[in-house]
Amino acid sequence: MAHPQHATPLTQLSEEESLFYASVRQFAEESIGPHVRAMDDEQQLAPGLLDRIFALGVMAIEIPEEFDGAAGSFFDAVLAIEAISTVDPAVAVLVDVHNTLVVNALRRWGTPAQQQQWFPRLASDTVGAYALSEAGAGSDAFALQTRATPAEGGYRLDGRKLWISNAREAGLFIVFATLDPAAGYRGITAFLVEKGAPGLSVGRKEDKLGIRASSTCELILDGCFVPAANLLGEPGKGYKIAIETLNEGRIGIGAQMLGLAEGAWGHAARYAKQRRQFGKPIADFQAVQFSLAQMSTEIEAARLMVYNAARLKDAGQPFLTEAAMAKLFASQVAERVASQCVEIFGGSGFVRDQPAEKYFRDSKIGKIYEGTSNMQLATIAKQVLGK
């Protein structure tokens, strides 16, 4: 495990980073906040919101300037995910998957022609999605049944992907399929599949507990032809692309859970100062004060872990263990803080008129997607025990 020495506290942001975070947070509060309840009810983004998110620039953070991107850092992407998550973690998923998985995969493994084709679109109007999971391939991510069969000029893909975030909005899918099931993970290959490709269709949208405005759908591949030029990386190297991008993506989920906890805490603190019982605000009672203090302490610890993992990634240092720890701990903190937020709201926290219950519902997914908590513990144990 890396143990870097930091001259300044990990949570101290540069002036540029602070201004960026503040601008995204303001956008989230003003442009997303008024629609949170309706989007959760209707299970879709508010009309026009996606265009405003692109206009803000948060879908192009790490895309090079030559492709109309911001040429920012991975840490900038993490800040954007955190800021949006304070208001609506469901919208943050869209930004997270697009940046930490799709854009990063294209930056590292895309050919110059692929980058030229896709980066300007991903920066301006095209959402990316990441299609790895299947019914029998969850934590065992490489037990894939989706087949890639060589065909004249490319490949044909057949199979079904499940739980694909951004599927409804996406214009580009990174699809993982196996060229040779007998080869195990060595047969896994990644493909760039454009929306509208013959044989590709988006199936049923899941009716979820939380992050309901985020589209999570089945992806159906029925003889879907993919030109050879759309192969991402080398044949049989899809497992490497998946593993390494998911390692980075876990930091993004950590940021999402961090922002969720911050948002829930903010609502709980404001309510505690306004709600009066026995002649005074409930924030005057020591039990409530201690609860808010404990929550704040855990949020700060999660922030340190998430920021540390992101800084390590940007510095080109090992970050596998730190990323797993950040996701594990931030998801635990988010669930605890969101639950305590409901309790501080009391009866009001149990109804949908107040924001507390949505944060609680949204928090649960943090322990599940992009690697369950048990998978994070297995990764951490392997690294710290040298197994």
How much is the pLDDT for 8?
45
Catalytic residue, chosen from 169, 248, 322, 370, is: 370
The full 3-state SS of 116-128, as one line of letters, equals HHHHHHHHHCCEE
Contact assessment for residue 305 and residue 325, using Cβ atoms and an 8 Å cutoff: yes
Check for a shared fold between 15-126 and 240-385: no
The answer to whether 370 is a known catalytic residue is: yes
How much is the pLDDT for 140?
85
pLDDT in tens, the chain (387 residues): 444 444 445 678 999 999 999 999 999 999 999 999 999 999 999 999 999 999 999 999 999 999 999 999 999 999 999 999 999 999 999 999 999 999 999 999 999 999 999 999 999 999 999 999 999 988 887 789 999 999 999 999 999 999 999 999 999 999 999 999 889 889 999 999 999 999 999 999 999 999 999 999 999 999 999 999 999 999 999 999 999 999 999 999 999 999 999 999 999 999 999 999 999 999 999 999 999 999 999 999 999 999 999 999 999 999 999 999 999 999 999 999 999 999 999 999 999 999 999 999 999 999 999 999 999 999 999 999 986
How much is the pLDDT for 9?
52
State residue 205 phi and psi, 5-degree precision: -90, 130
**Superfamily of chain region 130-237:** Butyryl-CoA Dehydrogenase, subunit A, domain 2 (2.40.110.10)
Query: Of 2.40.50.140, 3.90.1150.10, 1.20.140.10, 3.90.850.10, which CATH number belongs to 240-385?
Result: 1.20.140.10
What is the CA 272 to chain-centroid distance, rounded?
A: 30
Domain ranges of the chain: 15-126, 130-237, 240-385
Phi-psi region of 69 (alpha: psi -120 to 50; beta: other; left: phi over 0): beta
DSSP for 359-380? HHHHHGGGGTTTS-HHHHHHHH
* Residue from 189, 195, 136, 139 nearest 170 by CA: 195
How much is the pLDDT for 387?
67
Residue with tokens 């060595």: 186
State residue 162 phi and psi, 5-degree precision: -120, 155
* Residue from 242, 246, 222 nearest 96 by CA: 246
Tell me yes or no: is domain 15-126 CATH 3.30.420.40: no
Report the distance separating Cα 75 and Cα 77, nearest Å.
Answer: 5
Contact assessment for residue 199 and residue 156, using Cβ atoms and an 8 Å cutoff: yes
What the block records as the tokens of 236 is 């049989």
Pairing of strands 216-227, 154-165: antiparallel
How much is the pLDDT for 10?
63
